[in-house]
């Protein structure tokens, strides 16, 4: 068994779509980034790569590379899952915490879990996605952060 952790933060700006775990969430702002800036999937990919000791997504998908401009992070995740399988591993379970003051994410959590279960081709019981605020003490609405932990078998 191998464990991995990942962490990411992106800034919230006007004129961008807000996408978390492949779910587009209606909101007045979205996350800024070279790709679609799906901060939760970025943290998750770093956790999987960390478990495999394969570096991080900055190394795998450099933001200086135009082919990743506007990239669908769920597609990048497919590449990372391919690397995981190539090393002979499958997902034991994963756990993600998304950190944001707004918007409320509870209506979208199940769809996020389903998207990830489909990507890993696993049971939804292996996928946990949670959301928390920082009581106004952290990013304070300037951005969204995410932590991820994975166990690979
Ligand atoms: Mg990122």
Question: Domain residue spans in the chain?
Answer: 2-152
* Residue range 134-141: mean pLDDT, rounded: 85
CA distance 32 to 42: 13
Q: Choose among 19, 40, 32: nearest CA to 147.
A: 40
Q: Ligand 1 mean position to 39 CA, how many Å?
A: 5
- Give the CA diameter of the chain: 42
CA distance 51 to 84: 9
Task: Indicate the range of 5-9, 16-20, 67-71, 105-109 predicted with least confidence.
Answer: 67-71
Task: Indicate the range of 9-23, 43-57, 68-82, 132-146 predicted with least confidence.
Answer: 132-146
CATH 3.30.1330.50 fits 2-152, yes or no: yes
Residues with CB under 5 A from ligand 1 (ion): 8, 42
Q: Ligand 1 mean position to 43 CA, how many Å?
A: 7
Q: Ligand 1 mean position to 143 CA, how many Å?
A: 12
pTM beyond 0.95, yes or no:
yes
């Amino acid at each position: 068994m191998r464990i991995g952790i990942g962490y990411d933060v992106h800034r919230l700006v006007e004129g961008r779509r807000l996408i978390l775990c492949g779910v587009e969430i209606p909101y007045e702002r979205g996350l800024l980034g070279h790709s679609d800036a799906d901060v939760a999937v970025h943290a998750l990919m770093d956790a999987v790569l960390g478990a495999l000791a394969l570096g991080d997504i900055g190394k795998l998908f450099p933001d200086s590379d135009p082919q990743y401009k506007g990239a669908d992070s769920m597609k990048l995740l497919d590449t990372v899952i391919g690397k995981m399988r190539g090393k002979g591993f499958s997902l034991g379970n994963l756990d993600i915490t998304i950190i944001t003051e707004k918007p409320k994410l509870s209506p979208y959590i199940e769809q996020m879990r389903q998207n990830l279960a489909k990507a890993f081709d696993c049971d939804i019981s292996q996928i946990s996605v949670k959301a928390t605020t920082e009581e106004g003490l952290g990013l304070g609405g300037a951005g969204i952060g995410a932590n991820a932990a994975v166990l690979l078998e």
